[in-house]
A and B are shown apart, each in its own frame.
Chain A
Amino acid sequence: MTVAKDKISIEGLTGDAAIAHALKQCDLDVLAAYPITPQTIIVEDFQKFAADGEVQTAVIPVESEHSAMSACVGASATGARVATASASAGLALMWEILYCAASMRMPIVFTVANRALSAPINIHNDHSDGMGMRDSGFVQLYCQSSQEAYDTTIMAFKIAEDHDILLPVMVGIDGFILSHNVERVEMLPTDVVTDFLGIREPVQPLHPDKPITMGPLALTDYYFEFKEQQDRAIQEVPKIYKKVEKEFEKLTGRSYGMIEEYKTDDAEIIILAMSTMGGTAKAVADVLREKGEKVGVIRLKMFRPFPVEEICKAIGDAKAVMIFEKAMSFGAVTHPLAMEIRSALYEAENRPMVLDFVVGLGGRDVPPTTFVEGYEKTKKYLEKGEAPLYETLGVRK
């Protein structure tokens, strides 16, 4: 049964604050973090909750992000429920330990306000940081709204801590565009969240009474087998994600799916984007539909593991897929999102034309007109029957 309306508290919250409120309700044991824009408010708000005695969490203000993730791994190893937050350069400094967190199977929730990487230094949104960590073994969930950020943060713990998974989960929100934008957020009563998540049951925790060794040396003889375990664990995520979301939907009436489909059923051209761009894309699709254009939108929420089946099914018999993505993989065939989509569609019977538009780097605005520009180009490419592998839009050239 969904939670009664009078039990729900409604507030205007930024994406960061929504995540902080979610973390507050998740009964964290440890939060270790180092401040970095545009994630700062998450930890700032949480520290305030801790200072005011609203949470019983050990907050560790470490000296760097490398230490933040290291502290999280150590805490998680003891069986604690652990979270951290970062972005951009801070996330990049964590890089080594991101792989350790995933390989050591630590169910840490890592909230990220996605931001461009240096240089030149830039504090605004793109997905370079998230794409940089895409192979680390983290589950990656990208959110479109403050409400979704709140909901996803709560669900992330349940997914991460599931015994079939035991992997860290990154929850991404677009820096500033969502992290600092106030939206209406419905919040569950804390006891409902507590019941939903339960207490973490660690599988092999560090404990003085039962000593074990974690993260030892494994060379040519065993390393590969541990990677096999890890790969199989992340492949289980869709199953558990669906289960967790179904349970969450029972409480709230809200669910998001691994992908969000919007008017894709009869669409000839599909816009595919992540995070807040999904909202703009849907507005653009509405306007183009009014003009009689058959446009649909797929908003990808789960980037890792990549939901191949769902994507292929949603694309169906569309003539073209236009990908709008906020990251570059310099020197690659196409950029990260388009590479995934191209690979996913390789076995499709009616392979659509795949267009890769790189947009919004360093927080460059991606207004509806950028989508329309891409749409018009796509129509021309379809007529011609060929298209470039990728192109940049919204840059002076």
Chain B
Amino acid sequence: MAEKKCSCGCCCNSGKTKEYNVSGDEKQCTLADLPVGTKATIVKIMPQARGSKKFADVGIVPGSELLIEAHAPFGGLIRVKVMETSMAIHKDEAANIVMEEDSNIITEKDKD
């Protein structure tokens, strides 16, 4: 997996114009921005997020680690692995989940 990093050291999909969906906090980006194959940890869930309780019940809580497994062919859904289970969530909701990439993990795991 190519490791591209933007200046902030986070995981934003670099290459084109950088986009930050998180206002006032430039060190992180949201689940909606992460490329496939990244492993990242949830930092916080924005207060305006809908369904936070539902997400909490499947393990999408601050501190848990996610693996971005796939993006749906026609957009919209993101497939993430959380606590060893694959879950599909919608981009709109993913945009309210603030993430921080753990770069150590990705290099270690992607060697094998």
Q: Do these two chains really belong together in a complex?
A: no
Mark B residues whose CB is within 8 Å of A: none
Hey, which bits of chain A sit against chain B, CB under 8 A? none
